Amino acid sequence: IVAYWKDRTKKREAFPFKIDGVVVSVNNNVAFKKLGVVGKSPRGIRAFKFSPKEATTIIEDIKLQVGRTGAVTPVAVLKPVEIDGVTISRATLHNIDEIKKLGVKIKDTVSVVRAGDVIPAVSRVFPELRTGRERKFEMPETCPSCGTKLIKPKGEVILRCPNPKCFARRKKYFYHFISKGGFDIVGLGPRIIDRLIDEGLVSDPADLFNLKGRNFTPFRKRNGN
DNA sequence: AGTATCTTGCATAGTGGTCA
DNA sequence: TGACCACTATGCAAGATACT
């Protein structure tokens, strides 16, 4: 298997389509079935991925995002760099522990990969390329959106904004409400929600059902239903 | 009719929390 | 400890709608 994988790695560029690895499958239906399925992954199949393609760039800044549950996530704002025909400009840093582990500072030169050839990720830092102008990143004590003091429950790595009325959280809550996993409101996405909130037309998802006469129809029909 | 804008869906990984 | 689900993240293509 390893020999085959190495061979494919060499011939990767020769294919008329993009590949990110090879898949090995048990070639016996009885054995395959016996192995069963874990989650979405059948045990009888294994993927052997190639090393992701890398590019070097600079971390311009580290910004914070507040999720629906209040999770505060640091995101690296990168000097745009191209990997495999795609421009990478942002990459999640997950949490402060990840930042410490990588040893990332703002303005650092870093190596960026596309995990699974899709998701941008900072893979390593080049401390030897520092100029002295790099800034250490510290997590704030208060929510970047509402200013509430952030909490870090015991045993947890992630900082959270505990304020249920936090504007950023509220927005994400809205997104979730209208999303496929929620009410699945077709044609109503984050952009529209932003507009509705900015224009003061809604402050709670329930307000969506009282927009009559406001010259705004967020609901579209899906296949006539 | 042509252009602009917007939404959706997909791809995958890391992490956290819960449960057996 | 492993399984499993939820959450969060980015970028692109495709398709639909809105606007000029």
| Residue A64: domain span | 54-136
Model confidence at A94, in pLDDT bands (50, 70, 90)? confident
A169, part of any domain: no
Task: Tell if A98 CB is < 7 Å from nucleic strand B.
Answer: yes
First-last CA distance in chain A: 51
| Co-location of A62 and A30 in the same domain | no
| Co-location of A26 and A98 in the same domain | no
A164, part of any domain: no
Strands A135-136 and A105-106: antiparallel
| Co-location of A43 and A105 in the same domain | no
Residues 54-93, chain A, CB closer than 7 Å to nucleic strand B: none
A123-172: pLDDT as tens digits? 778 888 888 888 887 777 787 777 787 777 655 667 777 777 777 777 77
| Co-location of A59 and A123 in the same domain | yes
A130, part of any domain: yes
A217, part of any domain: yes
Please state, in angstroms and rounded to a whole number, the distance separating the CA atoms of residues A167 and A96.
23
Task: Tell if A206 CB is < 7 Å from nucleic strand C.
Answer: no
Query: What nucleotide is nearest A186 when CA is compared to C1'?
Result: B7
CATH of the domain at A17: 3.30.1490.70
A210, part of any domain: yes
A141, part of any domain: no
CATH of the domain at A101: 2.40.50.140
A38-67: pLDDT as tens digits? 555 566 766 676 666 777 888 888 878 777
Query: What nucleotide is nearest A92 when CA is compared to C1'?
Result: C9
Supply the pLDDT for residue A186: 58
Q: Straight-line distance from CA A187 to C1' B9, in Å?
A: 14
> Would the pLDDT of A217 be above 70?
no
Bigger pLDDT: A94 vs A17: A94
Least confident of A25-29, A76-80, A203-207: A203-207
A155, part of any domain: no
| Number of domains forming the structure of chain A | 3
Task: Tell if A65 CB is < 7 Å from nucleic strand C.
Answer: yes
A148, A114 in Cβ contact below 8 A?
Answer: no
Q: Straight-line distance from CA A132 to C1' C6, in Å?
A: 41
